[in-house]
Amino acid sequence: MRSDALAPPPVLRFAPSPNGALHLGHAYSALCNERVAAESNGRLLLRIEDLDRTRCNPQHEAAILDDLAWLGLRFEARPRRQSEHGDDYARALARLEELELVYPCFCSRAEVARDSVARDPDGAPLYIGTCRQLSSSERVVRLARGDSAAWRLDMRSAMDATSASLVWSEFFEGTTPIERPAEPALWGDVVLRGRDLAASYHLAVTVDDALQGVNDVVRGRDLLAATSVHRLLQETLGLPAPRYRHHRLVLDANGVKLSKGRQSPSLGALRARGLSAPQIRAALGFGGGDGGGLAVAFS
């Protein structure tokens, strides 16, 4: 076992998607990353998760970079943009295919929803594995004729192929880790590459964290359950397991977590109201002083 003196320095990343404006929840996550990096003399990286080209655009990215600079956040080097690294995800998927742990799925979303009898931890219909039953020859024929397919992880086979005990070190927002067991089976045969995407969130972040040397993942508790899938992929692909720090979520006045989809007030809107970066930081618990009358609640 490596001593603390020989352990690599902490490497953290903040990874927004440029599909809308940042809100207070994003600011809290970015500032949590900044705080952990500062307290541990670590490195802080920025990743732009822009694989969904139908929703992500350069204008949103420019606004994100402007908001982060306004908050006083500083990142090491240029951002890693997922849209520039499709080959990395293709290699990981090819490795899983060599191990016979993925398969093409030709089912539509409507078919998946129609046939599903359960939900995954995110509340989406749980896939029943229809295309897992297809023969190799039928898969080849359908792919050769151009049938559109997503690629799914064969969850049962992947778990059977993993000899290690699937756990991770979870700190939440404290300093003492707990060993948390992973439960990837709750997700069923998750999509690793969509029909129109180079990789799903699960595959992309697993590969990105490994290639960037990220060993401390600081992100919201809404991604706590997804860590089970990421741990399985890390073990299957022979990648290192980071430490995880899933932080609280910022809530709106109705007690619901902030989101772009619900059009939660953006940092830009708060700036337009006259709030300063130090006030935003203070309201979120990063530094003393005046929070500008901004009331913030957490889950």
| Residue 5 counted as domain residue | no
| Residue 132 counted as domain residue | yes
In angstroms, how far is CA 288 from the centroid of its own chain? Answer: 30
| Residue 210 counted as domain residue | yes
pLDDT by residue, tens only, the chain of 299 residues: 344 556 788 999 999 999 999 999 999 999 999 999 999 999 999 999 999 989 999 999 999 999 999 999 999 989 999 999 999 999 999 999 999 999 999 999 999 999 999 999 999 999 999 999 999 999 999 999 999 999 999 999 999 999 778 999 999 999 999 999 999 999 999 999 999 999 999 999 999 999 999 999 999 999 999 999 999 999 999 999 999 999 999 999 889 999 988 888 999 999 999 999 999 999 999 988 899 999 899 99
In which domain, by residue range, is 105 found? 11-298
Buried b (16+ CB within 10 A) or exposed e, 212-241: bebbbbbbbeeeebbbbbbbbbbbbbebeb
| Residue 6 counted as domain residue | no
| Residue 244 counted as domain residue | yes
| Residue 201 counted as domain residue | yes
Tell me if 238 sits within 8 A of 163, measured CB to CB: no
Kindly write down the DSSP assignment for every residue of 267-292, as one continuous string.
HHHHHHTT--HHHHHHHTTSSSS--T
Q: Phi and psi for 281 in degrees, rounded to 5?
A: -60, -45
CATH value at residue 141? 3.40.50.620
| Residue 4 counted as domain residue | no
CB neighbours of 214 closer than 8 A, spacing ≥ 6?
A: 11, 12, 13, 45, 208, 242
- Opening angle at CA 9, ends 35 and 67, nearest 5: 35
| Residue 2 counted as domain residue | no
Instruction: Domain count for the chain, please give it.
Output: 1
Number of Cβ within 10 Å of residue 162's Cβ equals 18
